[in-house]
Structure 1
């Protein structure tokens, strides 16, 4: 059975534009909540051996040192403290205050510190890494499809793949802007790693469809370009669904049972990979058809 995906291509593109604009608005208005990887500062995580006290009680213990200390529950018995000062003195002051209150009822799980200049440098490098990855993808696709100049120029394959990638990345960023605003979820270097993974996974899915379009252009000549693209999508649909589902099942398992430290890394991948499968069919391919129709 052949599904006519391209029949409603205007609807898919319109929906994608709305989602992308909303994600941009969320990011522009609320931004992302950066953790110490980017802002600099200290992070201390402790685990209460028995039942964790009320989080407000714990907060009152450490705010006597510094009102800017952020206190957040994590998991069943863990508490995470974030403070702007990244020195060991602040670390020891917080631990001492907690010991005075709770003696040996907790244990220290980890302490991390990043200087403000290092954090700013990491943020800049993260941004450039994403931009460079996109440029490299465009160049690679343009080279790989260099022999396909009709009916759509080869460089446009790369351009449309990037537009699909931008949709995927912005969707993840928009969701985490909302999570940061309403749930206090912050992002750091693992989030950047997730975005780069989404870029690679999504473009791989798009290239599979584009490659089938290229093959069909060489062996099928009696159907319209729209029907040829739709046929190519249908021929690769089973592969796309199977690959996406198996990957998502593993990521969902990580999200629920993989621990707090990688929970939202997995969530970013879940959103991005699902969006990548969507954009390969409902953004990249309709854009090919749109470019062909404008050329006519």
Structure 2
């Protein structure tokens, strides 16, 4: 069975490129729905005693000075609504709750979060630094861990290819999440960054399993060419990678279907990331390594 070859590598790269383009188009058209963690504001989820219409809640929000034209309303259940608005103080929140209780119906708060603009900017910077430092640490770790890889293979190539596959996963995850945000209202918040970091760890772990088998087979079969060793290594680890990923995906699907609305977007981000990470560890990272190694070999032969 041939998974890694010059012809099939082009197919895998084309599939990856197509998925990335879909994500970029979605991102450029709809952007990302930033949550209050990164935008600042107040998030209030209310549960009403009886069923009420969304337009009735919206009508009363329009009549309140500090929420008029400054809110979004999302229905989260049969009798519950999520209100996002500008940062409100305690008195304003109390007034909002009492007004809706009087004019719409008796209710009780399920969730209340308020983040100021200064804190949201700080969280943005920390999120960017977290992703950047994690990527650099991964390159250094893999380069060190694979330092004993037989020549002419280079340990740095293993690290860089793993991170390129990782960036592929992040691009696709963000792009698809942008689409989910447009369709289902999912927001980018601290949980989303947590999901991305988790996906990074899972994706790199899967990639290292394949790369480690390539290293072992290079030592075991020094006479074989690199692309043959890479293909055999992928085949040897394919069942393990798929079984591990499918087990996790089943758990995530169960949580997505049975979990509460507060973790739905987080689980969805994990589900997308794990699926893409499984694909990239087999069909992106290894083909990249093969292409890079083949070009390096050609340069050596030509010189």
TM superposition score category, shorter chain reference: over 0.9
| Matched position secondary structure for 2:151 | coil
C-alpha distance after superposition, 1:157-181 (max 9, x if no partner)? 0110011111111111001212223
Cα distance in 2 between the residues matched to 1:188 and 1:170? 17
Cα distance in 2 between the residues matched to 1:249 and 1:179? 20
| Matched position secondary structure for 2:45 | strand
> 1:4 aligned to 2, 5, 25, which one?
2
Match of 2:43 in 1: 43
Match of 2:301 in 1: none
Structure 2: gaps of 5 or more residues: 299-303
Cα distance in 2 between the residues matched to 1:241 and 1:109? 39
Cα distance in 1 between the residues matched to 2:262 and 2:241? 29
| Matched position secondary structure for 1:24 | helix
Tell me which stretches of 4 or more aligned residues in structure 1 moved more than 6 Å: none
The alignment covers a number of residue pairs equal to: 292
Shift in Å at residue 222 of structure 1? 3.7
Q: Using the TM superposition, name which of 279-288 and 181-190 deviates more.
A: 181-190
| Matched position secondary structure for 1:196 | helix
Match of 2:157 in 1: 156
Shift in Å at residue 13 of structure 1? 1.1
C-alpha distance after superposition, 1:227-265 (max 9, x if no partner)? 110110111111101110110111111111111000110
Cα distance in 2 between the residues matched to 1:20 and 1:136? 24
Relative to the length of structure 2, the TM-score reads 0.92
> 2:102 aligned to 83, 94, 100, which one?
100
Relative to the length of structure 1, the TM-score reads 0.94
Matches within 5 A, 1:1-296: 3-7=1-5, 8-50=8-50, 52-65=51-64, 66-104=68-106, 106-148=107-149, 150-295=151-296, 296=298
Structure 1: gaps of 5 or more residues: none
Q: Report the RMSD for the aligned CA atoms in angstroms.
A: 1.4
Check the 8 A contact 2:150/2:218 in 1, yes or no: no
